Amino acid sequence: MITTVFGDAILPRGGRVSLGSMIQLLQPLGVNERLVRTAVYRLVKEEWLESEALGRKTDYMLTFSGRRRFEAASRQIYAADIPGWDRRWRLILIVGELEARLRERLRKALFWHGFGETATGSFVHPTADLEKVMDGLVSEGLDQVLAHLMPMVAVNSRAAHCATDIDMVQKAWNLDGLALSYEGFLQKYEPIRDALVSCGQEDLSQENAFLVRTLLIHDVRKLLLRDPQLPESLLPDTWPGSRARHLCRDLYRKLLPLSERHLDASVRLSSGSAPHASHTVVSRYEYGMDLQPGITHTA
């Protein structure tokens, strides 16, 4: 939940916040002060965050690698559409021996980049930018494995003895389980969207708009970071992920104005000053979720 708030609310405000503000923001969600302190300590230990003490108060901010991770995740969470496909597969092969601990770290890192793993131990994705993936592995502290990796781009043959593109998808990803999770997301948030449409926002407080927005992004984030973002041509005709993405964008737009006012009133640094939201927040409100938080777009 803390990473959700940092990515969606704090990153567009400079990526820095006082511990007291974070505690205040999360308290209505049932996350008490002790849990916030424990979780923030773990995020510092894992090098997502770093701290700076100002007297008895402490600010927390994203590390360089933490910012890189957040911005990579944001490209999936706030993307306007699933990218098209040039019908070429991006493959990463492991060459030589790689100890089990490093291989597992590599597998998890590539999973967050959307890669599936085949039975032969290679990793596959239809649209990933291999150069950015390699840079991402370095930022994750996996530069020592690069010598064991062979990234390549391959075109699937149409020969009768070759696996089809759909075969590749079925062997590398479990889309059935992901589809069920998307259906649960739709059942949870469609009634909220419909209620805002039929009843308006007059009775919705600024704080409640922020809380619903946070839960919305928290839930969609967990889904999208499991989603390989496959092109539509590789997905089932009734794929619920597309509906979920459109629902999230629509509901987010409706919640953003009130929730931003709550953040303006609540987010503070240890100095007592209020960090200003970047143009990104305004752009997300005006144009939807096409822009990524943390990357300032000038007018």
Per-residue pLDDT of 218-233, as tens digits, reads: 999 888 878 888 888 8
Residue range 99-119: mean pLDDT, rounded:
88
Residue range 251-274: mean pLDDT, rounded:
92
What pLDDT score was predicted for residue 21? Answer: 94
Alpha helix ranges (H) inside 113-232: 130-139, 165-172, 175-199, 206-224
261, pLDDT greater than 90: yes
pLDDT class of 20 with cuts at 50, 70, 90:
very high
pLDDT class of 284 with cuts at 50, 70, 90:
low
Q: What is the pLDDT of residues 63-77, one digit of tens each?
A: 887 787 777 677 667
Q: What is the rounded distance in angstroms from the CA atom of residue 110 to the CA atom of residue 125? A: 10
Q: Which residue has the tokens 């992901």?
A: 178
What is the DSSP code string of 203-270?
Answer: T--HHHHHHHHHHHHHHHHHHHTT-----GGGS-TT-HHHHHHHHHHHHHHHHHHHHHHHHHHH---T
Q: What is the rounded distance in angstroms from the CA atom of residue 236 to the CA atom of residue 177? A: 13
Greater confidence, 240 or 281?
A: 240
Classified as helix, coil or strand, 60 is strand
Mean of the per-residue pLDDT values of the chain: 84
111, pLDDT greater than 60: yes
- Which element (helix H / strand E) includes 49? strand 49-54
Q: What is the rounded distance in angstroms from the CA atom of residue 259 to the CA atom of residue 213? A: 7
Across 180-217, b (16+ Cβ under 10 Å) vs e yields: ebbeebbeebeebbeebeeeeeeebebbebbbbbbbbb
Q: What is the pLDDT of residues 191-217, one digit of tens each?
A: 999 999 887 777 789 999 999 999 999
Greater confidence, 183 or 285?
A: 183
Classified as helix, coil or strand, 44 is helix
What pLDDT score was predicted for residue 162? Answer: 55
Q: Which residue has the tokens 């006082």?
A: 18
Q: What is the pLDDT of residues 154-194, one digit of tens each?
A: 876 555 555 678 778 888 888 888 999 999 999 999 999 99
pLDDT class of 279 with cuts at 50, 70, 90:
low
Contact (CB, 8 A) for 183 and 240: yes
Q: Which residue has the tokens 């096409």?
A: 290
Greater confidence, 240 or 86?
A: 240
Ordered structural domains, the chain, with CATH: 88-155 (3.30.70), 175-266 (no CATH)
Residue range 41-68: mean pLDDT, rounded:
87
What pLDDT score was predicted for residue 192? Answer: 93
294, pLDDT greater than 60: no
